Structures are given as structure tokens and as C-alpha cells.
A = this chain, B = another copy of it.
Amino acid sequence: MTYEDSGQAPLIYLDLEQDVALLTAALIDISSVSGNESALADAIEAALRTLDHLHVTRNGNAIVAATRQGRAERIILAGHLDTVPLPSTPGSRGTVPSSWDSDVLYGRGATDMKGGVAVQLAIAATVPAPSKDITFVFYDNEEVAAEKSGLGRLVRENRELLEADFGILLEPTNGTVEGGCNGTIRFQAHTRGLAAHSARAWMGENAIHAAAPILARLAAYQPATVSVDGLDYRESMNAVKIHGGTAGNVIPDACMVEINYRFAPDKTPAQAEAVVRELLAGFDLECTDSSAGARPGLDAPAPASFVAAVGREPLPKYGWTDVARLSEMGIPAVNFGPGDALLAHSDNEHVAAQDVRDCLAALVRWLS
């Protein structure tokens, strides 16, 4: 989709130099549920194109804007434009339009992640000659299936625009640097038996009973905490679903246990798969889904100077984020953004104005 034919709605003007918390509110007010990011992307593209120090490229509803100051290092500041759907519970404040309660801003995307996008835009407008070259990346469809990801599309179609030494994803971290992320892998374990009337159970074989050792091994498993590049990644191994049996008088002939292993970024998905296959040796395991984790890489020069500028002890990130996509491209990356990740997607999504301002201040300090 090109800019010209992207929608019928009139273009919305964004003032990138206003207070970054007010800018956050303005971004929330342009609803951008996944798949419907064009109005917001149009407004951002138009605002960025007024800035002479930026080279702007649009791809669908993703926008890449880069400084070309000839600095020794280039960093990426990345954020997604989309949000999850609006709350369905009447009276929820985590919706559109935004609203204020004292100095706290409520609205869909307040934490995930229009505060972070506002910080990106404020830097784009107010730091025209940063100490490191910056590539600003805004993208669509982060909250939906991985194959729709706007960042994934940029990696496939415009990879040359994403060359960088370090990446910061402005996902909510309460203003602390969160490095890397755990990987995730899922399996279905299937046990099989032989159906029979439960009055003559000995004519059958019970597939649910056959799953007993799977649950026992999972329940007894002691997940590791693995130190990677100085951060401690806490792993977990869980049955997330179980299903078996057809009727109250039939010996069940099939049972399925779904298992999710969240593994530290010292392991590849293949190594994580080996851990699960060793734990559940002897069972029929089907791997249904996996995503690599990302090492924090905080010992490289750019991340190290960034952590020093933020001035707070970095933490490991547990949930999978697009940091892993940058990491796969060989770009060390961290999460750093305003707001509490636990409020993301909630009916009550909100962010403190000061947190958005503090996040901006830390980045400006580092980049000036």
C-alpha cells in the first residue's frame, strides 16, 4: 500500500515537539488495532517527512526514518504502532479516546506501546544531530500472528534499512533496561490406548493413565535459572493443556498434553527441544511451535554505554519480544520503555506522564 492510497480519512496533524505525555495521548486517540494502523502510520509519516535531517521510507504501514550524520555507530529505536482490540467491558478506561486521571494517562496502547512510540517521535523531532546515527522503525501487526509482523516484512523486503550496531525496542519495561528474552517451544505429547466399555476395563488400555508419567515428570521438573551475559534468565516448563476421554463409561483411547518450555537464550530451539525430549523420553512428542530467545549482549560498547546512561541495574526480559528478531539479524538489542508490562492488554491500561518523560530524558541524555 502506498501513502497516497492508504485511506479516505483526512490526515491527522501530530505536533512532535509538544510534551511527550500529551503526544502519547494524541497517538492513543488515533485508534490502531492490528490491521488498522493506516491512519496512525499516515500521521507519523507526514510528521517525519517535515524533518529535513531524516530519510523516510514507507512499506505498507511500516515507516523507517534514518539520520545520516556519518557517526561511527548506528542504533535502531523501534516500536510497533498497533494495539490489541479495545476492551469489551463497559466502563473500561484502557480504551479510545484517552483520558487523564491526575497525571496518569489511560487508554488502549498507553503502555503497549504508544508511550514508547511518542518517545521515538520526540527524539526524531528534537535531536537532529545525535551522537550516534539513529534509525527509527515504526511497524504494524506486532500483536497478531508472527507471519503478519510488519518488522518481519521489513526484514524480508528492506533489510538494508535495518543495518545497525544496537537496537532498543521501546516496549514497556518501567524505564529499566531489560535485556534479551527467553525462547519458547511447544509440544503435544500424545498417549494412545484402546477403547472399551468401562464395565470391562480390562478389555481396553487407558490412555489417560498412560499420561501419568508425563505429568509427574513435569511436576517434578526443577526449571533452571541460567546466567547469560550477566543477566539471570529464569526458565519454566509447563503442561498448559490436557485433554482425553470421550464418555463416562468408555476407557479413553487417546490423551494429549500440551507442553510449553520457556528456555534461556543460551540455548537454540534445537537445544531446547533436546531438553524436552530427554525429560519425556519414551513419549510421542510433536513440536508444534518454537521461537528462539535473544542474548542480552550488554557487554558490547553501545549497550554498555546505554545501560550506564540509564543508570539502573538491567534486568532479564522473560516474555518473547521483537528483540529476538533483531538478535537473529546479529543486532544486539534490549527493551527499554515507559509503563508496566503487566498492564499491557488490560482493560485498565495506563501510564504515568512522568514515566514517559523520564524515558525520553534518559535516551536524550545518551544520544546528545
Chain A residues at the B interface, C-beta cutoff of 8 Å: 182, 184, 186, 197-202, 206, 208-213, 215-216, 218-219, 223, 234, 236, 238-252, 255, 257-258, 260, 262, 289, 318-320
CA distance A200 to B262 in the complex (A): 9
**In contact, A245 and B258 (Cβ under 8 angstroms):** yes
Contacts of A247 in B (CB 8 A): 240-241
**In contact, A319 and B215 (Cβ under 8 angstroms):** no
Partner among B219, B246, B255 whose Cβ is within 8 Å of the Cβ of A209: B219
Chain B proximity of A322: nearest CB distance (Å): 14
Partner among B209, B218, B249, B289 whose Cβ is within 8 Å of the Cβ of A239: B209
**In contact, B236 and A202 (Cβ under 8 angstroms):** yes
**In contact, B245 and A201 (Cβ under 8 angstroms):** no
Chain B proximity of A214: nearest CB distance (Å): 9
Given contacts A212-B219, A258-B248, contact A239 B206 (CB under 8 A): yes
Contacts of A210 in B (CB 8 A): 219
Contacts of A238 in B (CB 8 A): 198, 201, 206, 208-209, 251
Chain B proximity of A47: nearest CB distance (Å): 34
Q: Which residue of B lies closest to A203 (CB)?
A: B342
**In contact, A211 and B200 (Cβ under 8 angstroms):** no
Given contacts A198-B236, A320-B199, contact A249 B260 (CB under 8 A): yes
CA distance A239 to B244 in the complex (A): 9
CA distance A200 to B222 in the complex (A): 15
Partner among B216, B239, B251, B318 whose Cβ is within 8 Å of the Cβ of A252: B239
Chain B proximity of A244: nearest CB distance (Å): 5
**In contact, A199 and B182 (Cβ under 8 angstroms):** yes
Q: Which residue of B lies closest to A319 (CB)?
A: B199
CA distance A252 to B199 in the complex (A): 32
Task: Tell me which of A197, A212, A250 has the highest count of chain B C-beta atoms within 10 A of its own C-beta.
Answer: A212
Contacts of A318 in B (CB 8 A): 199-200
CA distance A208 to B256 in the complex (A): 12
Given contacts A212-B218, A216-B212, A218-B212, contact A241 B236 (CB under 8 A): no
CA distance A240 to B246 in the complex (A): 7
**In contact, A243 and B240 (Cβ under 8 angstroms):** no
CA distance A98 to B128 in the complex (A): 92
**In contact, B244 and A251 (Cβ under 8 angstroms):** no
Complex A-B, nearest 3 residue pairs according to Cβ-Cβ distance, in ascending order = A241-B245, A201-B236, A212-B215
Q: Can you name 19 extra interface pairs (CB under 8 A) apart from A201-B262, A206-B219, A209-B218?
A: A182-B199, A197-B319, A198-B236, A199-B236, A201-B223, A201-B238, A206-B239, A208-B240, A208-B241, A208-B257, A212-B212, A212-B215, A215-B216, A238-B251, A240-B251, A240-B252, A241-B252, A242-B244, A245-B258
**In contact, A248 and B208 (Cβ under 8 angstroms):** no
